[in-house]
Structure 1
């Protein structure tokens, strides 16, 4: 358990908890640790090396540190492509298929074993899709990596004790002002079970439900102020979906648990009967929960019984959303706005729709936003600001994504909003953000983070290393861009395929690289692997000076078998290196980013790469999107056009970036304020606000970052 907790803390925070081992001379082990970390692109801080040097027997401790960072960049598995000599020795596609066929004929493979409906089936050829070499043979075929000053070096810092780091991470996650991603939510579940401490504020409802479920298990009173809080708690306690996006199969609750849940419901409704209006929206879930709670057995809580009566349709409770909808249908924008004043966050999310119905009442909407802004969360303000920046003109394409990263695309048929109204609202939002931002004497922003999107939700990215929110841009230096996918099947067969669409500056299709076309425009593919009981990796190399395409769009297809959220492991990542560095196909020191792929869909679109004419390198723009695809047989030929639409929508959208936030902070500079340095990660020396902390700056408590 300690090993798993320790590796989790290191991977999530890049801080290493101190060891409780006996004091002694560990200087030799500290040197070995430093050398091992450098091989995977990490560096131990001076304090961490000093701590290891003072331990008598630090070998197990340092091994755990190295294991943690190797897993972070994907070096904990063997990346063994089909062609042993990759990136060299990749044959012509048709010639390779012919060789596989000749091999099958030389082995007298029966015709009925390689033919399907009268056509040749590549998957049935003995040599197709199955590696003919071991991982050790692959290693022997490659020279060692030649280090480069362009290689990534990430600093690991020394933290507090394991207990202190667990507490720190728990409070950081539970008090997060932005919704957590799936991986962080799972970490919070584990940590909440180990501590009864509560943060000063829990702004996100899903986080509150996780903590409430832990409190329920301990017999403590839950922290709820809406009926939906109780529903989320029941979902979490049943091992279901705390976000309420998926249906939960409620478990049987013990009688003391039922008393706690029903008492909480009764208290919420007794204080505000209007909150019964939230029940019809999730009536089916409430009816299923009622079958487990047996509210009729607890007559002392009549208000809780009203909740289930409304769900069954025995009592009427018009929802807040329903009253707003009626007002909008009657084109009574002022009535709708007056209703929405009761819920400032909902009001801000409805601004676009209100303006499209407003007619001559646009100024009434602007004034309502001015009143709501001071009490709304920072992420809602920034989300609306970003939305408005894209409403002066129609979007190239409207790209939507749900919590499972499933994307769908549609044309933007909305009329543009009046420029003067947009400008007025942008001024209101920016003034409110500036009011709550900390006063500083100077803002220093590392150039690499200027185009990073301020993380307002963990659902806009995925778990991993170097992963940034959707729409963020990352500069990559190096002559060679190499990206890869790795998967390991779980219980059944799984064939995943890596491919890339090549586009010109006008986003016109110029070719593709995949298992049907090994080389195109200078880019080349490592070979098709069709099963992965012990794991499989596919690569695509794009030498910058060899290709003419402006954009390279990687895609990962589930051709058949288990999907991304069904396999045991699934990841995507990319490296940047110089052509003369040599090395293995997978070199952890050159990995710039690696993300888990756990979305709902059969086609993954993790990132876009843009070849930069000025300078040397690429710009990566994160997508984190999945397309539904087909149940079987997904290929680049069937998804290239929709991928182009997605690229168009994401590239042309304006995002709320770190650069934009820095401009707002500079409007509040003062001669006696602290200095603010914003960076991707914390360096060896010096205090910075890292990108993942920036959402805190948008909340009233955000000034603590500068203490």
Structure 2
């Protein structure tokens, strides 16, 4: 049992069979202790912990509170530069703030803590998280939706899958599906099975069913060495392999017909892998594997599908291109927009696409649907490349215009193909879909998602609590050398015009207040920013972009720990500077970048926009002021990029296999932000609705 995993994924915890004896006072004390993290125990859970002995309850509570501490960021000590923040910053003169900063830069000393206690925190009327009891079978059921996902997993989700395989060993096969639909997950599961369930014949059977292409074999080899199975980042450094491992990979490759072209797609990686595979040692046993790898070594590249398509598009030979694309329906969908813009007869292109649209995967159809429904031209065209960390590129929308009726028909084709596919699934009955779900994005690609308190999809817009004050927080600890991480907030108006920054070099302004710059964190350090939302709105601010910058230029992945988040506070003068029960979001900062934009606040709509993005450019002085162009670009990309939303996805399912009703009380299935299937159930959405 992994209580942290269970609590994070389902807001459930397991209570073992107890021997009884815990008093009502002890149970009440446990319930009260959990409320310090904005959580409440449900009545069934309170009844179950009441069946434990006093000692059993103590150990159970210690484990649960430890999980909640780490989830909210309360497992470390938070001490800002100004201990009485924000009062000391509000009352200090600019000269005093400047001199205190200079003294710290020269001596690394911080201001001593004050003796007078802080008043108790004023409680806001914020919704608490309800924790329910869960069984062992419910916990074990967490694995199947993760493995059955039709899109990529985040690093945290991959770790969850590996935990099950490592701890259940051979018993994990009763929890695994026969086949894994998404190729990256096949490699991750296959690699974990090889490493942790060695010797079980069912491992070979799993690989035979799930390895279908040469790239599947390559991904499996990458997974075994802990690399990026998306194959988009720098080449994996392959290490020496045992003979049994080499034979396994070569055997899998040898069984794949016409592997040469697929090998050539990643020729350089195959060359590096061949250095440890030594395919010549098994030339007689696996001749086709040797031939494919030899072709890559000699750069004997056959004419690839991609190069043929690009040539025909450039020459505008659409009549020749269309039947070729029909043989690759997914690629047809990805290139439909470009093909239509170059076609003299777009209707014939749409006819050809309609004939194969039902063969295109749901994620690709949903993305295409969002693109053709979006207004044109877009204020900004943004691209999020596939990879292990999140980044965005933006360009001006210079696409040739498409007729409205062409875009409308393309949307109908996508909808029709999705409804046809979803109609083959079990009926849903009466369904209620909360219109608020149009603010939440479909979880199409989570590989670059950071570990966070709530499982969120980039671009989703969550309602902010009804409060006047928001407190941003950052905590980090030095890596191998002095590490200076800076928390900043950049303010933009409704037209994305920069207004002001609150950062280490400007501690107060526009209704924002910074807790002071700390430049060394051998035992850990915290920085905070208070935001008075009413004042900011009065000054014309609409967007607040939170920026985290590695001033000393170490990438976050090299730090022992670094995380950030935000709290909703009724009053900034009451309570401790860090109060876990006021934490709404916490995100681990662990990407291979030096600049991170975790979230954006839209004060006009009172929405928090989940960003979880990284900047890779490093100016001479790494702070938000020197990155304003990149910050502004990412802000506009988050706001303007068309992405499929959950209301659309669930509506297509209901059209295919249900009946939509107007209230949750009438429904057999509910889709809403706070009940039934929620936007945070990303594993269920990806495995059951994509």
| TM-score computed with the length of structure 1 as normaliser | 0.87
**1:182-207 CA deviation, whole Å, 9 max, x = no partner?**
12112222323334413144121111
- How far apart are the structure 1 equivalents of 2:143 and 2:496? 44
Change (3 A) 1:574 1:698: closer
Please name the residue that 1:244 is paired with. Answer: 231
- How far apart are the structure 2 equivalents of 1:593 and 1:448? 20
Please name the residue that 1:160 is paired with. Answer: 135
- How far apart are the structure 2 equivalents of 1:589 and 1:671? 37
- How far apart are the structure 2 equivalents of 1:466 and 1:697? 15
Alignment of 1:637-656 (within 5 A): 637-656=625-644
Please name the residue that 1:104 is paired with. Answer: none
- How far apart are the structure 2 equivalents of 1:356 and 1:522? 48
**1:113-139 CA deviation, whole Å, 9 max, x = no partner?**
xxxxxxxx776433xx643235xx58x
Task: Give the C-alpha shift of residue 580 in structure 1.
Answer: 7.4
Asked if the contact 2:553–2:594 (Cα under 8 Å) also holds between the matched residues in 1, the reply is no
After the TM superposition, which of the residue ranges 39-48 and 19-28 deviates more from structure 2? Answer: 19-28
Asked if the contact 1:489–1:535 (Cα under 8 Å) also holds between the matched residues in 2, the reply is yes
Change (3 A) 1:531 1:369: farther
Find the residue that maps to 2:558 and give its secondary structure: coil
Change (3 A) 1:610 1:499: same
Please name the residue that 2:392 is paired with. Answer: 407
**1:427-448 CA deviation, whole Å, 9 max, x = no partner?**
1112223334465554434565
- How far apart are the structure 2 equivalents of 1:449 and 1:69? 27
Asked if the contact 2:595–2:615 (Cα under 8 Å) also holds between the matched residues in 1, the reply is yes
Q: 2:124 aligns with which of 123, 126, 148?
A: 148
Please name the residue that 1:203 is paired with. Answer: 181
Please name the residue that 1:486 is paired with. Answer: 475
Task: Give the C-alpha shift of residue 619 in structure 1.
Answer: 1.4
- How far apart are the structure 1 equivalents of 2:416 and 2:683? 17
Task: Give the C-alpha shift of residue 608 in structure 1.
Answer: 1.6
Task: Give the C-alpha shift of residue 179 in structure 1.
Answer: 0.8
Is residue 125 from structure 1 mapped to residue 116 from structure 2 by the alignment? Answer: no
- How far apart are the structure 2 equivalents of 1:456 and 1:349? 15
Is residue 74 from structure 1 mapped to residue 50 from structure 2 by the alignment? Answer: no
- How far apart are the structure 2 equivalents of 1:144 and 1:7? 29
- How far apart are the structure 2 equivalents of 1:376 and 1:176? 16
After the TM superposition, which of the residue ranges 62-71 and 164-173 deviates more from structure 2? Answer: 164-173
Please name the residue that 2:550 is paired with. Answer: 558
Q: 2:219 aligns with which of 198, 219, 232?
A: 232
- How far apart are the structure 2 equivalents of 1:152 and 1:78? 26
Q: 1:572 aligns with which of 564, 573, 581?
A: 564
Please name the residue that 2:529 is paired with. Answer: 540
Asked if the contact 1:178–1:695 (Cα under 8 Å) also holds between the matched residues in 2, the reply is no
Asked if the contact 2:382–2:641 (Cα under 8 Å) also holds between the matched residues in 1, the reply is no
Change (3 A) 1:368 1:460: farther
Find the residue that maps to 2:80 and give its secondary structure: coil
Asked if the contact 1:170–1:192 (Cα under 8 Å) also holds between the matched residues in 2, the reply is no
Please name the residue that 1:341 is paired with. Answer: 326
Please name the residue that 2:672 is paired with. Answer: 679
Task: Give the C-alpha shift of residue 168 in structure 1.
Answer: 1.9
Change (3 A) 1:122 1:510: farther
Is residue 213 from structure 1 mapped to residue 191 from structure 2 by the alignment? Answer: yes
- How far apart are the structure 2 equivalents of 1:26 and 1:337? 74
Asked if the contact 1:408–1:627 (Cα under 8 Å) also holds between the matched residues in 2, the reply is no
After the TM superposition, which of the residue ranges 493-502 and 186-195 deviates more from structure 2? Answer: 186-195
Alignment of 1:527-676 (within 5 A): 527-547=516-536, 548=539, 549-579=541-571, 582-612=574-604, 618-630=606-618, 633-665=621-653, 667-668=655-656, 669-670=658-659, 675-676=668-669
Asked if the contact 1:16–1:159 (Cα under 8 Å) also holds between the matched residues in 2, the reply is yes
Task: Give the C-alpha shift of residue 581 in structure 1.
Answer: 7.9
Asked if the contact 1:344–1:376 (Cα under 8 Å) also holds between the matched residues in 2, the reply is yes
Asked if the contact 1:26–1:58 (Cα under 8 Å) also holds between the matched residues in 2, the reply is no
- How far apart are the structure 2 equivalents of 1:401 and 1:27? 55
**1:247-282 CA deviation, whole Å, 9 max, x = no partner?**
11112222222221111111112xxx2x42111121
- How far apart are the structure 2 equivalents of 1:148 and 1:542? 16
Find the residue that maps to 2:344 and give its secondary structure: helix
Task: Give the C-alpha shift of residue 663 in structure 1.
Answer: 4.2
- How far apart are the structure 2 equivalents of 1:237 and 1:576? 43
- How far apart are the structure 2 equivalents of 1:67 and 1:207? 30
**Structure 2 alignment gaps of length 5 or more:** none
Q: 2:415 aligns with which of 430, 444, 447?
A: 430
- How far apart are the structure 1 equivalents of 2:686 and 2:623? 43
Task: Give the C-alpha shift of residue 405 in structure 1.
Answer: 0.9
Q: 1:259 aligns with which of 234, 239, 247?
A: 247
Q: 1:319 aligns with which of 290, 297, 304?
A: 304
Task: Give the C-alpha shift of residue 99 in structure 1.
Answer: 3.3
Is residue 46 from structure 1 mapped to residue 43 from structure 2 by the alignment? Answer: yes
